[in-house]
């Protein structure tokens, strides 16, 4: 099956023009509204140059739509790009690791969607993006991708016009949807309730660029200092408004959050106004990462992220993350259900006690630079140097306390961090390369650092510092014997 070359959806022109005008909004506002009465030579040239830019950018968008094409076959997608310099790019469907479908408000308004196909490579050409597609075309492309991954015995004879056999769609099971209580906890834990304050400050400075607000600000400040009783209701109203905005922000992001899976794939759906649907093959998950910032650690919550061989969705919508505000027990149970081939170890080894002194003896480069800056620019604030040193020492002690490791026949698991504690779990068969290093100070204490690489974009490198030399040697032999492990 091979289709003819196709143009991209005509609405892609509309979407690109919208993005162009959106990115140029403040320039248009400044040149043609706030400076509309300026008729000097400089402003006339600036306005003419900007209009010429808009015309050229619009012309390029139209020409790209006219000349760019794509073509689908049983095995690959071929992209034809370029106006004057033609470029042809072929991507085999079997290289595609992950599929992400995103539908924002404008898409829904026009009953359209977007589709991104991620490969396991890196670089600018690691993905194939269709910014605008009809739902029917998006489903057709996803169907072709899935059929291309069928076993050879189910593939049709390319020389004969044989239709693919009917495929039973795997049954999905929903494993998690957040409750209202989860959303409220998410709003406060993510500090979304404080979102209004940076928004107001940003809005103030943007308006101040065009209008001088200093006099008005002084008048309001003097009035409030003379009527202190007004501060309490204003503060309460601001907090209430901020809480409402924070909850709306969190709900728009996680209100329709859903994690489901079938035998082969994990599906993550999220977003109310901008809906994103992402799927990842279970056997392409390279590692699992659990992150606990200080506040989440105090509340017994954790965020689980999946490390994939390809891009794990669009970074702007963070589709590589399972629900970021899960209780620890629920997170472990969810991972076991989604990825039963992974396991958590409750018995982890701490670092040798003498390595605490090693960590405290390492140079404090940031403290040295900060102290020098304080002595040079703000001598009267030199006392902050002592506070910073105590803080850095406390971080190193906390990092020593939380750092632990474990590895068995099939897995390695490490935990480290101070303010943000991170637990990383990967299979031995998923590790691409390892390295055992030992610095001068480490040799004195009889310890070494372990480095291991997992496929990802970018390449994920995990480092565990200051394990005993015996553990380093054992880790090296453990990795060397991975060819004997049957991949599960």
Per-residue pLDDT reduced to its tens digit, 319-342: 578 888 888 888 889 999 999 888
What is the structure's pLDDT at 371? 93
Q: Which two tokens stand for residue 255?
A: 């209100």
Question: Is the model's pLDDT at 263 over the cut of 50?
Answer: yes
How much is the pTM? Answer: 0.70
Tokens of 279: 């799927």
Question: So what's the pLDDT on residue 152?
Answer: 59
The helix or strand, by DSSP H or E, that contains position 412, with its residue range, turns out to be: strand 411-416
Smallest CA-to-CA distance from 266 within 173, 140, 149, 143 is with 173
Mean pLDDT of 263-281: 84
The SS3 assignment for 488 reads coil
What is the DSSP-derived secondary structure letter of residue 417? -
DSSP-derived 3-state class of residue 70: strand
Assigned token pair, 94: 């079997």
The percentage of residues in the chain with a pLDDT greater than 70, rounded to a whole number, is 81
Asked if the model's pLDDT at residue 392 lies above 90, the reply is yes
Strand order in 447-454's β-sheet?
A: 431-437, 447-454, 460-468
Q: 385-412 in b/e burial notation, b at 16+ Cβ within 10 A?
A: beebeeebeeebeebbebbbbbbeebbb
3-state secondary structure of 475: helix
- ∠ CA(351), CA(357), CA(362), 5° rounding? 105
Q: Which residue has the tokens 């992400």?
A: 100
Top pLDDT among 319 and 347 is at 347
CA-to-CA distance for 445 and 441, rounded, in angstroms? Answer: 7
Segment 163-184, tens digit of pLDDT = 444 445 567 889 988 888 888 7
pLDDT digits (tens, 9 = 90+) for 66-115: 999 998 887 888 899 888 888 888 888 878 878 888 888 888 888 999 99
Q: What is the pLDDT of residue 112?
A: 92
> CB–CB of 462/451 below 8 Å?
yes
The 96-103 sheet, strands edge to edge? 127-134, 112-119, 96-103, 275-281, 265-270, 258-261, 173-176
Mean pLDDT taken over the chain: 81
pLDDT of the residue at 236? 79
Element (H, E) at 276: strand 275-281
Q: What is the pLDDT of residues 47-58, one digit of tens each?
A: 889 999 999 999
Residue 249 has what pLDDT?
78
Position 217 confidence tier, pLDDT thresholds 50, 70, 90:
low
CA distance 39 to 47: 10
Q: What share of the chain is helix, strand, coil (3-state, %, to 5)?
A: 45, 25, 25
Q: Is the dihedral of CA 338, 343, 347, 349 positive or negative?
A: negative
Give the separation between CA 392 and CA 245, rounded to whole angstroms. 35
* Alpha helix ranges (H) inside 209-258: 214-226, 231-254
Q: How far is it, in rounded angstroms, from Cα 15 to Cα 105?
A: 12
Displacement of CA 331 from its chain's centroid (Å): 19
Number of neighbours of residue 93 by Cβ within 10 angstroms: 20
* Angstrom distances, CA of residue 290 to CA of 40, 93, 171: 60, 31, 28
d(CA 15, CA 225): 49
pLDDT at residue number 313: 47
Instruction: Decide: 260 and 173 in contact? Cβ < 8 Å.
Output: yes
Half-sphere exposure of 47 (CA within 13 A, CB side): 16
Rg of the chain, C-alpha, whole Å: 28
pLDDT at 370 exceeding the cut of 70: yes
């Amino acid at each position: 099956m091979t289709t003819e070359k196709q143009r991209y959806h005509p609405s892609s022109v509309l979407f690109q023009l919208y993005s162009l005008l959106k990115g140029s909004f403040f320039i248009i506002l400044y040149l043609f509204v706030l400076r509309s009465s300026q008729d000097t030579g400089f402003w006339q040239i600036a306005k003419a140059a900007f209009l010429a830019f808009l015309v050229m950018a619009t012309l390029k968008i139209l020409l790209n739509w006219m000349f760019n094409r794509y073509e689908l076959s049983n095995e690959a997608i071929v992209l034809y790009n370029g106006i004057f310099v033609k470029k042809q790019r072929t991507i085999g469907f079997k290289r595609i690791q992950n599929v992400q479908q995103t539908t924002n408000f404008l898409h829904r308004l026009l009953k359209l969607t977007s589709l991104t196909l991620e490969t396991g490579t890196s670089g600018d050409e690691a993905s194939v993006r269709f910014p605008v597609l009809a739902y029917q075309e998006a489903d057709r492309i996803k169907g072709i991708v899935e059929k291309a991954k069928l076993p050879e015995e189910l593939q049709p004879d390319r020389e004969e016009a044989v239709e693919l056999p009917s495929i039973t769609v795997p049954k999905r099971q929903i494993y998690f949807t957040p409750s209202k209580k989860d959303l409220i906890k998410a709003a406060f834990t993510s500090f979304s309730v404080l979102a209004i304050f940076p928004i107001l400050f940003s809005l103030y400075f943007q308006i101040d660029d065009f209008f001088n607000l200093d006099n008005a600000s002084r008048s309001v400040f003097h009035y409030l200092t003379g009527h202190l009783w007004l501060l309490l209701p204003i503060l309460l109203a601001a907090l209430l408004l901020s809480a409402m905005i924070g909850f709306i922000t969190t709900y728009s992001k996680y209100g329709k959050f859903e994690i489901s899976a079938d035998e082969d794939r994990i599906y993550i759906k999220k977003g109310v106004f901008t809906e994103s649907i992402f799927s990842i093959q279970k056997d392409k998950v390279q590692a699992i990462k659990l992150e606990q910032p200080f506040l989440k650690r105090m509340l017994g919550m954790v965020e689980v992220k999946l490390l994939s061989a390809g891009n794990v969705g669009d970074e702007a919508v963070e589709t590589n993350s399972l629900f970021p505000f899960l209780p620890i027990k629920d997170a472990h149970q969810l991972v076991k259900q989604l990825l039963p081939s992974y396991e958590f170890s409750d018995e982890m080894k701490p670092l040798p006690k003498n390595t605490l002194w090693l960590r405290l003896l390492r140079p404090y480069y940031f403290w040295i630079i900060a102290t020098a800056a304080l002595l040079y620019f703000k001598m009267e604030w030199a006392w902050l140097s002592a506070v910073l040193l105590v803080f850095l020492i406390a971080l190193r002690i906390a990092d020593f306390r939380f750092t632990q490791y474990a590895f068995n026949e099939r897995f390695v698991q490490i935990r480290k961090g101070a303010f943000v504690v991170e637990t990383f779990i990967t299979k031995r068969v998923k590790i691409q390369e390892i390295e055992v290093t030992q610095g001068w100070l480490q040799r004195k204490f009889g310890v070494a650092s372990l480095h291991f690489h997992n496929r990802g974009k970018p390449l994920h490198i995990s480092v565990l510092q200051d394990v005993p030399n015996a553990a380093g040697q054992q880790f090296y032999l453990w990795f060397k014997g991975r060819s004997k492990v049957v991949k599960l």
